[in-house]
Amino acid sequence: MDESYQVAEAVGSGIGSLISLAFSVIFIIANWKLFERAGEAGWKSIIPILNVYTMFKIVYGSGWKFLLLFVPILGEVLAIAYYIRLAQVYGKSTGFGIGLLFLMPIFYLILAFDNNAQYTGPCTSFL
């Protein structure tokens, strides 16, 4: 009985790992598409820190603004505003940005794979 439990645990762990890998690949592809749509090299989306810098450059025009995420309270406000601005620079509404905030995986995929979502340039306002 103990052996069958270990086999079931190993199989379940393997299936969970495959599902996790599949979602990771899908999100890498989605991020790559958003980068390319904004005129950035897609490979930048897979390098840690550079991908956040580049996304802030896409959204705000200056990538260095991502450092403000480390400022208490301002970081939280900026994170919320970031999702709304991300939707807006790809031609989506503020409501879509709120959807990104609360249901990010679903709305991020919609944003990446929607052919109507065209990059319009960085947001001119700070928040």
Contact (CB, 8 A) for 29 and 43: no
Please report the sign of the dihedral spanned by the C-alpha atoms of residue 118, residue 108, residue 97, residue 41: negative
Question: Mind listing the pLDDT tens digit for each residue in 39-98?
Answer: 999 999 999 999 999 999 999 988 888 898 899 999 999 989 999 999 999 999 999 999
Burial 104-121 (b: 16+ CB within 10 A, else e): eeebbebbbeeeebebee
Q: What are 73's two structure tokens? A: 């309270």
Q: Where are the domains of the chain?
A: 2-113
Question: Mind listing the pLDDT tens digit for each residue in 1-45?
Answer: 577 778 888 888 889 899 999 999 999 999 999 999 999 999 999
